[in-house]
Amino acid sequence: MRYELSPLPYAYNALEPVISAEIMQLHHDKHHAAYVAGANAALEKLEKYQNGDLPDLDVKATLRDLSFHVAGHELHELFWRTMQAPSDNNVPTGEIAEKIEKSFGSFSAFQKLFSATAKSVEGSGWAVLYESPKNGLLVLSVEKHNLNHAPGYTPILALDVWEHAYYLDYKNDRGAYVDAWWRVVKWE
Ligand code: MN
């Protein structure tokens, strides 16, 4: 089994002016691709170790590496496919709107919490909206790509707040990036 990088579901410039083509190209083709390569390299090491082709392996470090890269890969796959060309008054409708209202009271209450989560991530990480069939929706901040996930919950919307996601466009103003990002969320 090997991980594969999916092509972007739109052109590099599709999210402009919220996210530039330059960022999208670097972010997808270099950063995301590196997570896929890292995940596959860790898998290969583990396979060789299992088969006896690699006499010695720091299993603990390799598994940590695998966790980081697999989570990075999966969160980016989700990130790309839940964005689209920017639009004004971009709010959820239908089933997702109902679920948000049920779990958070209103869309604006959810938006306030999610934005504050994204803006308050220390260093590199993500704001993630999760869903559990039993317990509804939950917002968490993820450190790096792999720390703080909630077992039993599936990520359904994720905002990358690593500097590589916005620095070329917004410099150190992560808040402006987070506020603008709501225009490109693909709610459907
Ligand atoms: Mn990223």
Q: 88-106, pLDDT tens digit by residue?
A: 999 999 999 999 999 999 9
For residue 98, report the distance from its CA to the centre of ligand 1, in Å.
Answer: 29
- Total number of domains in the chain: 2
Number of H helices, E strands in the chain: 7, 3
Confidence of residue 163 (pLDDT cuts 50, 70, 90): very high
* Residue 56 CA to ligand 1 centre (angstroms): 32
> 35 CA to middle of ligand 1, Å?
9
Q: Is residue 63 part of a domain?
A: yes
Task: Compute the chain's Rg from CA coordinates.
Answer: 18
Q: What spacing in Å lies between the alpha carbon of 165 and ligand 1's midpoint? A: 5
In a domain, residue 11? The reply is no
pTM > 0.85: yes or no: yes
Give me the domain span that covers residue 57.
21-81
Ligand 1 centroid vs 107 CA: distance in angstroms? 26
Report how far ligand 1's centroid is from the alpha carbon of 31 (Å).
6
Rounded to the nearest angstrom, the distance between the alpha carbon of 51 and the centre of ligand 1 is: 33
Q: Are residues 112 and 51 both part of a single domain?
A: no
The three-state secondary structure class of 11 is coil
What is the spatial distance between Cα 113 and Cα 131, in angstroms, rounded to a whole number?
16
Question: How far does residue 55's CA lie from ligand 1's centre (Å)?
Answer: 34
58 lies in the same domain as 114? no
Question: pLDDT at position 86, please?
Answer: 98
- 170 and 114 belong to one structural domain: yes
Q: For residue 70, report the distance from its CA to the centre of ligand 1, in Å.
A: 13
User: What is the reported pLDDT for 95?
Assistant: 95
pLDDT given for residue 127 in this prediction:
98
In the reported structure, the alpha carbon of residue 148 is separated from the centroid of ligand 1 by a whole-number distance in angstroms of 17
Mean pLDDT, the chain, rounded, equals 97
Instruction: Give the 3-state secondary structure of residue 164.
Output: helix
For residue 119, the surrounding DSSP H or E stretch is helix 107-120
Q: What digits encode the pLDDT tens for the residues 22-66? A: 999 999 999 999 999 999 999 999 999 999 999 999 999 999 999
Closest by CA to 133, choosing from 152, 149, 115, is 152
CATH number for position 46: 1.10.287.990
Q: How confident is the model over 63-96, as pLDDT tens digits?
A: 999 999 999 999 999 999 999 999 999 999 999 9
For the segment 124-148, what is each residue's pLDDT rounded down to a tens digit?
Answer: 999 999 999 999 999 999 999 999 9
In a domain, 141, yes or no: yes
